[in-house]
A and B are shown apart, each in its own frame.
Chain A
Amino acid sequence: MATTTSSVSVDQQHPTSRGSTLREIKRNGWAYAFISPFYILYAVFGMFPLLYGVWLSFFKWDGISEMQWIGLRNYTRLFADDIWWYAVYNTIWLFFGATVPQLTIALILAFIINSNYIRGKDIYRAAFFSPFVASSVAISIVFLSIFGSRYGLLNYALSFVGIGPIRWLEDASWIKPSIAMVIIWQWTGYSMIIFLAGLQSINAELYEAAKVDGARTRDVFWHITMPLMRPVILFQVILSIIGAMQNFDIPVMLAGGTQSSAPGGTDRAGLVAMVQLYWTAFKYGEFGYAAAMALILFVLILIFSVIYNRWQGRSPTD
């Protein structure tokens, strides 16, 4: 279809291909009827809000009054909004400070648990996974006690080695590391289970062959495990990028509007993008502006995912 004359054939083909799709749908009508609960629900509760969000981002709307078309003004304002970009910075900081270490630790743990040197694997698996099951609110309340400046467990422990007391959730330079620690603690087990599943799908003969050839554990890890794990890691990283950009509950509980005077705590150091978005919509009543934030966030997630995909997504046989 590269030639100019082909435009005719495109025009001719279009209706036929559309017709054939319709015919296919008709032919498989029952199948579509049976899967309709999914796509109808998705259209109503998934697709519609998504598209409506895009539409909304061109309006000024407080949630009750008439919507007012303002074109791209939400976006021009957003690009000059220093608090928003600081919130985005904090979010990306937390991706590198929490999600990257979390994935690294999870991979190492999965490798260790998968090895033959460990007994009672199930116990470790359950133990590492359990934080993921706990509710974020409960986790935050526990960690609020741990991070307490005066009566906190962490400062109590540190006092024995002569450190502290650190004001974990009040000192602007410690808020993000504190949040990162909780995220790592909560999510490592989950990533580990996914990695473990990936590891177990690697053919054991490859390891045996490497052993016979005299490879050390480190070589096995870098030259056999890692290349074969690439699809699993890619999946996990993309999911983590999406999750990290949407971090909400832990930051809001530790540094959000619940405890401090303003969302994000001291100097807004713990303010992440989703928290700013939520506050903008529901507290400040600027739904259109918040919808623009959501769209920007979506674009950022897309960019990060594509970059990572380009960098690491090649097939392992390349």
Chain B
Amino acid sequence: MTTTLSRRRFLKIAAAGAGGIGAAALLAACGSAAPQSGQSGGQAQPAAPVQGDKVVTEITFWWWDQVGEVWKEPFEKAYPNIKLNFVNTPFADAHDKLLTSFAAGSGAPDVASIEIGRVGGFTAKGGLADLLAPPFDAGSLKNDMVAYKWTQGSTSDGRLVCLPWDIGPAGIWYRTDIFEALGLPTDPEAVEQLIGGPDRTWDDFFAFAKQLKEKSGGKTSLFADAGTDIYGAVYRQQGEGYADGNKVLIEEKATRPFQLAARVRREGIDANIPWWGAEWQTGLRDNAFAGMVIACWMQGGLTREQPDLVGKWRVVRAPEANYNWGGSFMAIPEQSKNKEAAWTFVKWACATPEGQNIMFKASGVFPAYKPAWEDPLYDEPVPFFGGQRAYRWGTEIGDNIKAIFRTPNDLQLDDIVGAELTKVLQDGKDPVQAAKDAEAEALKRIPDLQG
């Protein structure tokens, strides 16, 4: 249970929480039990009701965060002849549901959302419309989008089937109330010095984490879990992806993160509390950990589920390198009967400063569309971070991270490495051996891959 690797896990447990009991609650990113805005599902509405003398086209949009509703009003105001039906599809099965609708030949929405963990699978298969071909015109947007996202959304034969939506600039978040109580400085510049200055390494960071734990008498750690906080960060810093096409990169990518995570667990630096569940929630309220290594989209969920902590967070860059965690795409299924209206919405939501920044303000979902960053919003103090001007650095991450590889086998590779990670953290397995074993396992289980 220790190690949560990715945003999709996070969203999954959110979906689990949809049963309504508040335990999995943070999860609002998946908008838990809120009434669904349409059980009607994803069928495209062929009917074109007439309002006044205008023809109104209805489009259906699937996403896994209730906050999707904030788009409805401004979009329908800008395009009065399109009606936007947002359907909150729990993350746990949103992609599976889309896949099923492709297999069945009907039932897909007009606009689907696809997360970074699944994009490799969807670009490799059919079912999604090429947004570079008429009636779409995504080609003109290429230079405005974060480059690696564009690559991820493209197929191997050069079609673009998933339009970049958001990125996940990640860093170290910490809580000023706990730092203050422990007699530590709370100002981001001073904290950056504490964790090793501008050229900080993970070693410096761990040294500080140890100090903090000692200062608190062992009660408070700097972060919850070696798996999610440390493995997740160090792995993504090298550029996410355990395979480049058919070439397996597990040993190369996983060895060092395994080693660092194992060291953190062995030396008792983390709180050893698994992420996202009830334990983590309680730990947060109990001050069991004073920070986390996390991406900007966490802001939406934390604001809703832990409103008392709003304003107490600060953010500084992670040691060694900037990196990305998570992010999604929008796609238009071939089945859609309202492709032009769907494209109007997709373009407005992902590729206008207006559409992107409405969502950014509401949830911290960081635009992959670069012109959106010109808004003064990105230089203003952020209430969630206690007035820290916390957004501009996120824009610097956009084009300055290592290449991310996506393949159709990503989920299986994640699970294979994840299983070894549990052995490293729970059973004390040798990290180097674990990475070797994971690579061997991947080669054995996925016939297409080569070492």
> A150, A258, A283: which contacts B288 (Cβ < 8 A)?
A150
Q: B1 at interface (Cβ–Cβ under 8 A)?
A: yes
Our pick among B16, B279, B283, B422 for the contact of A265 (Cβ within 8 Å) is: B422
Interface 9-residue window, one of A58-66, A191-199, A208-216, A219-227: A58-66
Segment of A104-112, A165-173, A229-237, A240-248 engaged in the interface with chain B: A165-173
Q: Are A138 and B21 in contact (CB under 8 A)?
A: yes
Whether B422 lies near A63 (C-beta < 8 A) is no
- Name A66's closest neighbour in chain B (CB-CB): B126
CA distance A263 to B415 in the complex (A): 7
Residues B426 and A170 in contact, CB atoms below 8 Å apart: yes
Chain B residue at minimum C-beta to C-beta distance from A264: B419
Task: Flag if A145 contacts B418 (CB, 8 Å).
Answer: no
A13 to B227: give the CA distance in the assembly, Å. Answer: 71
Q: Is B368 an interface residue (CB 8 A)?
A: no
Assess the B419–A268 pair: CB atoms within 8 A: yes
Stretch at the interface among B96-104, B304-312, B358-366, B379-387: B96-104
CA A10 to CA B421, docked complex, whole Å? 65
Interface centre among B279, B417, B423 (most CB of A within 10 A): B279
Is A283 in contact with B16, judged by CB distance below 8 angstroms?
no
Contact across chains for A64 and B415 when beta carbons are under 8 A apart:
no
Q: Does B273 contact A (CB under 8 A)?
A: yes
Contact among B5, B15, B121 with A261 in the assembled complex (CB-CB below 8 Å): B5
Could you tell me the dominant secondary structure of chain A's interface residues?
A: loop
Indicate the size class of the contact surface on chain B: 35 or more
Residues of chain B contacted by A255 (CB below 8 angstroms): 1
Q: Which residues of B contact A257 (CB under 8 A)?
A: 9, 12, 415
- List B394-451 residues whose CB lies under 8 Å from chain A: 408-409, 411-412, 414-419, 421-423, 426-427, 445
The main secondary structure of chain B at its interface with chain A is helix
Q: Which of A65, A150, A267, A268 contacts B125 (CB 8 A)?
A: A65
A281 to B96, CA, bound (A): 10
Chain A, interface size category, equals 35 or more
- Bound Cα distance from A149 to B99, whole angstroms: 37
* A259 at the binding interface (Cβ < 8 Å): yes
Is A266 engaged at the interface, CB distance under 8 Å to the other chain? yes
Are B3 and A141 in contact, with the CB atoms below 8 A? no
* Residues of chain B within 8 A of A207, CB atoms compared: none
Query: Is B185 part of the contact surface with A, judged by Cβ < 8 Å?
Result: no
Q: Scoring B residues 174 to 198 as 1 if CB is less than 8 Å from chain A, else 0, what string do you get?
A: 0000000000000000000000000
Cα separation A313 to B422 with both chains bound (whole Å): 44
Assess whether B127 is interfacial by the CB under 8 Å rule: yes
Residues B5 and A137 in contact, CB atoms below 8 Å apart: no
Find the B residue at minimum CB distance from A252.
B16
Closest to B275 in A: A259
* Contact in complex: A64, B127 (CB < 8 Å): yes
Cβ of B237 < 8 Å from any Cβ of A? Answer: no
Looking at the complex, which one of A141, A150, A262, A284 makes contact with B422 (CB distance below 8 Å)? A262
> Is A250 part of the binding interface, using a Cβ–Cβ cutoff of 8 Å?
no
Give me 10 A-to-B residue pairs in the complex whose CB atoms sit less than 8 angstroms apart, sorted by A's number.
A141-B23, A141-B24, A150-B288, A171-B426, A259-B1, A260-B274, A261-B3, A265-B1, A266-B423, A283-B96
Q: What are the 3 tightest A-B residue pairs by CB atom distance, in nearest-first order?
A: A261-B418, A262-B418, A137-B19
For the complex with contacts A63-B103, A141-B24, 16 further pairs of A-B residues with Cβ separation under 8 Å are A62-B408, A64-B103, A83-B445, A137-B19, A149-B273, A149-B279, A150-B273, A170-B2, A259-B1, A261-B2, A261-B415, A261-B422, A262-B416, A266-B2, A267-B419, A284-B412
